[in-house]
Chains A and B, each alone.
Chain A
């Protein structure tokens, strides 16, 4: 399966700490995307990183991609209680168009 797998499944940290979530996948990809989902809501796109990129930043978010290891990480710096949500990685397989989502990391930021 092309589906990404996030690690850890759940993460609980104190406000102000950094949160790191990892994603592994199985086949070559065009790009990898990270999404956030608040409980009971739709997903919100965070960052898209292409297969020829190694790192991207957006505000307090930093995403890395290692295609040799077929893995990506999402770092949220200086976390806030409002960052509490589930975070999903999704991959687009080389030669395909559809997104395959992982099962997500549930992040809880304690005020």
Chain B
């Protein structure tokens, strides 16, 4: 069966420090991968999605970047964190190719607090 792993579960970082959040999927090949951010009490905002290795699409301009060095690995990064980067970050995957017509499966998220 397919599983998605996301770590760390919580992270406290100072303003201006770098960030690296990792997400891996097991049990499937060529997944579509997603990074979302969820503000407290709100819905999800799509940050990045990827349909293949090194194929990244960004949905909103921001202080973050994403990379997909391997088929089932998706990394969210920042060189210098801002206070506004605080939030709950969720990784998800879906099967392709028509990813809009497939359910998405989520990891347990990373709670990021910027001090």
Instruction: Look across to chain B and name the residue whose beta carbon is closest to the beta carbon of A94.
Output: B100
B104 at the interface (CB under 8 A from A): yes
Query: Is the CB–CB distance between B100 and A92 below 8 Å?
Result: yes
Looking at chain B, what size class is its interface with the partner chain? 20 to 34
12 residue pairs bridging A and B, Cβ less than 8 Å apart: A31-B101, A42-B92, A44-B106, A88-B43, A88-B44, A92-B100, A98-B59, A98-B100, A99-B46, A103-B41, A103-B42, A104-B42
Q: How large is the interface on A (under 10, 10 to 19, 20 to 34, 35 or more residues)?
A: 20 to 34
> Dominant SS at the B interface?
mixed
Given A88-B43, A97-B98, A101-B44, decide whether A45 and B103 contact each other with a Cβ distance below 8 A: yes
Residues of A within 8 A of B102 (CB): 48
**B residues less than 8 Å from A103 (CB atoms):** 41-43
Distance of A38 from chain B, by nearest CB (Å)? 10
Which positions in A face B, CB cutoff 8 Å? 3, 30-31, 33, 40-45, 48, 50, 88, 90, 92, 96-104
Q: Which of A40, A48, A102 contacts B111 (CB 8 A)?
A: A40
Q: Name which residue of chain B comes closest to A102, CB basis.
A: B43
User: Could you give, for residues 68-103 of chain B, a 1 whenever the CB lies within 8 Å of some chain A CB and a 0 otherwise?
Assistant: 000000000000000000001010100000111111
Considering the complex, give the chain A residue whose CB is closest to the CB of B42. Answer: A103
Q: Which B residues form the contact surface with A (CB < 8 A)?
A: 6, 41-46, 49, 59, 88, 90, 92, 98-109, 111
A90-B44, A97-B98 known; 18 other A-B pairs, CB under 8 Å? A30-B100, A30-B101, A33-B104, A41-B109, A42-B90, A42-B106, A43-B92, A43-B104, A43-B106, A44-B106, A45-B105, A48-B102, A97-B99, A98-B100, A99-B46, A101-B43, A103-B42, A103-B43
